[in-house]
Amino acid sequence: MPRAVYLLALGIFAMVTSEFVVAGLMPQMADGLDATIPEIGYLITAFAAAMAFGGPFLTIALLKMRQKSALIVLFGIFLTGNVLAALAPDYRTMLVARVITGVASQAFFGVSISLCAQLTRPEVRGRAIAVALNGLMLGTLLGLPLSTVIGEHLGWRAAFWAITGLTVLAALATLVGVPRIERADDDGGNLRQELGAFRNPRLWLTLTTSTFIIGATFSAFSYLNPILTEVTGFSTGTVPLLLIAYGAATVIGNTVVGRFADKHAVPVLLTGLLLNLAFLAGFALFAQLSVAAVVLMMGIGLVGVTMNPALVTRVQRTGNARPLVNTVHSSFITLGIIIATSVGGPAIDTFGLRAPLWIGAALAALGLVTLLPDLKRMRKLRDDRTTPAAKAVEAPISPATKKSAQKSAQGSAMESAKESARL
């Protein structure tokens, strides 16, 4: 695996840690900015909304640049927003800072995944993407708890300064260790060319699958703390350890999915959705039982957000591996998070803390529906490959006809192989 892929993971880790830091320091930030807890919660929503809706526009603005240069520019924008957050004298300034970092973060994901695809061979691309996305998983496993500890002991501003230092380190590592790749003529840079991929209806359906898969997972993840304490009955001191275990499960799941994403993207997604649906529904039914709750929570960690390598592989095969498609894909993923958090809160007020788990199960079921066209297409391809052989057994054919049929079968096999690769 190229060293540059690991450096891209470091940059993603810095971005994700900044995204999650507010969740771990809500009381401290509320006191320091003279705001309420719900107002601090809106900072998370603002970051996500900036990612979903602002990231693609920033990517478009950087299309003419080489991707390594674009990453350095994005590091600079992100660093500006993060320093502004560390120095923020009031809530409004912090809100502006979160929007800046959110937009830069989303564009960074898109450009990084595109560059990752260029740095690796097609047959190991899914595995490389999994390595890069381990930065996301490690942000959950390490970034959130470490920034929370720093904020609790040294103040919430220190947490943002720590992220600033990490960002500078990641930027320098990228500058030195990521190769400068000359852009090919068909490798983007032309807006009309980039937008052309979105004329494919299958791409939009593929993007929607990502929204439902991530939305299903975050319906549970966003409310794990209150569910585990108020429904299951764990102490507040135990929950951080359980969240670390959840984060470890995501790292393991992400690595496993990356191994199979290249050749079996759709089957992996089908299996992951079915298991996640079962885990979410089981968690909703048995959340009051401590052992069952922990097992089911770990199951969600293994097969939830860890589907990302397969999601990215499927999107790139349906559209392309260029920055804009990858950034828009990240926006659809973020849209899933927005849906999960915005629907989950009101549902809790009406139906209780188990409601987000049922919402997650419903989103997983919708995700399965979006896979149906690809599953039908895969079945048709299998039938097409087996039908000629069955017909050949049924009736004798002349040598000339046999030779012609062999050529036709070879051509069909090649087309089927290409179509299977796209799936």
Write out the DSSP string of 212-229: HHHHHHHHHHTTHHHIII
User: Is pLDDT of 397 > 90?
Assistant: no
Structural domain contains residue 192: no
More confident call, 140 vs 79: 79
Mean pLDDT score, 390-406? 53
Question: Which of 78-87, 229-238, 402-411 ranks highest by mean pLDDT?
Answer: 78-87
On whether both 150 and 207 belong to a single domain, the answer is no
User: Is pLDDT of 187 > 70?
Assistant: no
On whether both 220 and 109 belong to a single domain, the answer is no
On whether both 169 and 239 belong to a single domain, the answer is no
For the chain, what percent of residues have pLDDT higher than 90? 36
User: Is pLDDT of 265 > 50?
Assistant: yes
Mean pLDDT score, 239-244? 83
On whether both 150 and 256 belong to a single domain, the answer is no
On whether both 88 and 226 belong to a single domain, the answer is no
On whether both 79 and 145 belong to a single domain, the answer is yes
Domains: count for the chain = 2
Structural domain contains residue 124: yes
d(CA 341, CA 360): 11
On whether both 217 and 295 belong to a single domain, the answer is yes
Structural domain contains residue 194: no
Structural domain contains residue 20: yes
On whether both 172 and 242 belong to a single domain, the answer is no
Query: End of a domain among 180, 214, 232?
Result: 180
User: Is pLDDT of 185 > 50?
Assistant: no
Q: Mean pLDDT lowest for which of 215-224, 379-388, 401-410?
A: 401-410
Structural domain contains residue 82: yes
Structural domain contains residue 189: no
Other residues' Cβ atoms within 10 Å of the Cβ of residue 265: 28
Question: Which of 35-39, 134-138, 238-242, 304-308 ranks highest by mean pLDDT?
Answer: 304-308
d(CA 299, CA 279): 6
On whether both 135 and 233 belong to a single domain, the answer is no
pLDDT at residue number 320: 81
On whether both 130 and 214 belong to a single domain, the answer is no
Range of the domain at 271: 200-388+398-423
Do 36 and 318 contact (CB within 8 A), yes or no? no
User: Is pLDDT of 192 > 80?
Assistant: no
Mean pLDDT score, 9-35? 86
On whether both 114 and 12 belong to a single domain, the answer is yes
Going from the C-alpha of 61 to that of each of 31, 79, 101, 197, 198, the distances in angstroms are: 38, 18, 16, 18, 18
Structural domain contains residue 381: yes
Do 60 and 191 contact (CB within 8 A), yes or no? yes
Other residues' Cβ atoms within 10 Å of the Cβ of residue 165: 11
